[in-house]
């Protein structure tokens, strides 16, 4: 998912827009996690980038994604760019 969200709307207040962004992200994560894993993978992992634009987006851990969005809102960002990429991850065997 690569998407730029606008935080300015003439009728909808910013907190409502932020809630809809977070909801859309949760929906995407649920959809991706329900897909079949690749044969060598044990679970899904996600590469996340967030920023005001695609050029200024920084990598963040999935757990810090909503906090990063909140930080952008506090800093009066007009847009938020979110990029999520799913990847299958195999667990590391401790005996190796």
27-75 confidence digits (pLDDT tens): 999 999 999 998 888 999 999 999 999 999 999 999 999 999 999 999 9
56 lies in some domain? yes
95 lies in some domain? no
Indicate the pLDDT class of residue 91, thresholds 50, 70 and 90: confident
Determine phi and psi for 41, rounding to 5 degrees. Answer: -105, 150
63 lies in some domain? yes
- The total of structural domains in the chain comes to 1
76 lies in some domain? yes
Question: So what's the pLDDT on residue 96?
Answer: 37
94 lies in some domain? no
- Give the 3-state secondary structure of residue 64: helix
Strands (E), the chain: 2-6, 43-51, 58-60, 79-89
| Structural domain boundaries enclosing 48 | 2-89
Q: What is the pLDDT of residues 3-34, one digit of tens each?
A: 999 999 999 999 999 999 999 999 999 999 99
96 lies in some domain? no
pTM of the model: 0.88
Q: Are 50 and 10 in contact (CB under 8 A)?
A: no
58 lies in some domain? yes
What is the edge-to-edge ordering of all strands in the sheet holding 79-89? 2-6, 79-89, 43-51, 58-60
């Amino acid at each position: 998912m690569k998407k730029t969200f606008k935080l300015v709307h003439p009728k909808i207040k910013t907190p409502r827009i932020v809630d809809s962004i977070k909801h859309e992200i949760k929906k995407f994560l649920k959809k991706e996690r329900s897909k079949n894993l690749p044969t060598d993978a044990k679970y899904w992992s996600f590469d996340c980038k967030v920023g005001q634009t695609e050029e200024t987006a920084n990598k963040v851990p999935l757990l810090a994604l909503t906090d990063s969005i909140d930080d952008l809102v506090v800093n009066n960002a007009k847009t938020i760019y979110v990029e999520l990429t799913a990847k299958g991850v195999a667990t590391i065997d401790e005996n190796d």
